[in-house]
Structures are given as structure tokens and as C-alpha cells.
Structure 1
Amino acid sequence: MSQTIVDALAASSAALVVALDAQDVDAIEKALPDLSARVAQMKAQGVWAPSPRLKASLLAAMGSVDAARLRLRYLADRNQQHIDMLAEAAGRFDCTPATYGRQPR
């Protein structure tokens, strides 16, 4: 595996986290395909020769990817709450839960 690919993955995921925190839709739309391309590069690499530096870089990149995943889940939950509140305000109790709860997976 190439250290450059891992570094690019870390940079892409960090850019997505920054875009999510700024709530910048244009930056999010730019960061998502870039992150997807970096993941595809990693998959296409095939067998990797592990090294201590590469393992450390992968752990750092995974931390950044996990931070983006948590932000996306939070934003999805928050949007669902807003949709439910709007449905309730409109009297559409047929399409909103009585109380808020996480959707089962």
C-alpha cells in the first residue's frame, strides 16, 4: 500500500469533516466523491505491506472517517426530528411517530 494513498484518504475525510462542521453544502458535495475515489484507490491497491508508519497513518485516517460518520448520523437524526415536528405541526400524525426515537437498523 502506498503511504500517499493513505495520506490522501486522511485529507479527504478531514475535508469532509470541515465541510460538515461548516454546513457548507457545496464543500460537502465536493468532498464526498473525493473520499469515495480515495477509498476506491485503496481497494484497487490490492495486497499491502504493513509498516509501523503506515499502520499509524491508517489509524489516524480511520479516526477522521469515523468523525465524519458520526456527524452524518447526527445530521440525519436532526433532520428527521425537524421533519417529524413539521408533520406534527401540520396535523399529519399518520406520518410522524408519537415520540422521537432512533430508527432500527
Structure 2
Amino acid sequence: MSTAPLEALIAEQKALIAALDGDDVEGIARATASVQDALTRIHALKPRFVSNDAKALAEEAMALTDAARVRVNVLADMTSRRLGRLASATGKGKATQTYGRTGRMAY
């Protein structure tokens, strides 16, 4: 199998991470769609990653997936905290914030 589809996926994942790091909402939407398209193309090929190059690229793609997941979780937590502070400031939320069983802020 050619490594070009994996290389394209990695490029799109890096663009998604850059958009996440830059708080670029439109860029996140574009990059998410591009990553999905790249994954669809790879899935359609029904690839077998047997070469060492392909395996290394697949591992890099998985690491980038994890990096994007962590960024999304951090952004979600930051948003949740902001909403909690706004709710508290308006008197519509609990004043104390604690971490719940899920590791996220519980209000």
C-alpha cells in the first residue's frame, strides 16, 4: 500500500491540532471535515499496514489522534469552567466548584 493516504491524514491532523491550539473555530470545522475525508479514503482502500514505513505513519497518526483528543478535552473543561463561573456570577449556579467522579468540574 502507498503511504500517501496516511501522509495526507497526518497533514490534516496537524492542521486540526494547529486550529485547536489557535482557538480557530472555522479552522477546527474545516480541519475536522478534512480529517474525516482522509479517514474515509483510507477506509475505502481497506489497507493493510505491512511495510515498516506504513506502520510508522499509522503510529504517528494514532499519536496525533491522541494529541487532538487531549486538546479537545482541555477546551471542553475550560468551557465548562467558564460557564460555571458565569452561572455563579449571575446567581444561577452553585458558588463552590469541585471535581466530580468523572474528573470534571461538578457544580
Fold conserved between structures, TM > 0.5: yes
**How is 1:2-41 mapped onto 2 (pairs within 5 angstroms)?**
2-41=2-41
Unaligned runs of 5+ in 1: none
Q: CA RMSD in A?
A: 2.1
Name the structure 2 match of 1:85.
Answer: 85
Distance 1:70 1:49, change over 3 A: closer
- TM superposition shift of 1:44: 1.7
TM-score scaled by length of structure 2: 0.84
Could you tell me whether the CA contact under 8 Å between 2:49 and 2:55 is conserved in 1? no
Question: Aligned letter for 2:20?
Answer: L
Name the structure 2 match of 1:99.
Answer: 97
CA distance in 2 between counterparts of 1:33 and 1:41 reads 12
TM-score scaled by length of structure 1: 0.85
Distance 1:47 1:58, change over 3 A: closer
Name the structure 2 match of 1:51.
Answer: 51
Q: Which has the higher contact order (CA 8 A, sep 6+)?
A: 1
Unaligned runs of 5+ in 2: 103-107
Question: Aligned letter for 1:8?
Answer: A
Number of residue pairs matched by the alignment? 103
